[in-house]
A = this chain, B = another copy of it.
């Protein structure tokens, strides 16, 4: 594995490691200052402060005891300093707004990363739930 693939994979895995520690400062530090993030219901956060604030809220509530597992990180490099890294994930241990336990969920996350001064940071993320057995939605 090249050092660039290893480093990009490390950053993507840090997404779940910081999530599982509920360390939102470290989570937010994975993102560039002007990064954007679209979550599984289409909320569009612009800039690291919005990304951080949204995750501080959810990790005090529905994701407080959740555990995120990332599988199968696949990275492509359209240029030497840009990476597209896609992975599948499973989330367990999350609860509804009323505090009720919810079943595990699966999804697929794309992160675009850029290297700047030797550091790879996420400049864009978009997340999509996996709905098994259908071609589109609603069906």
Contacts and interface: CB of A to CB of B under 8 A. Distances in A.
Interface string A75-110: 010110110101000000010110000100111101
Complex copy number for this chain = 2
Interface residues of A, number: 46
Contacts of A118: none
Nearest to A63: B136
A40 interface: yes
Given A62-B135, A137-B129, A108 B40 contact: no
Interface of A: 34, 36, 38-44, 54, 57-58, 62-63, 76, 78-79, 81-82, 84, 86, 94, 96-97, 102, 105-108, 110, 112, 114, 123-124, 126-131, 134-139
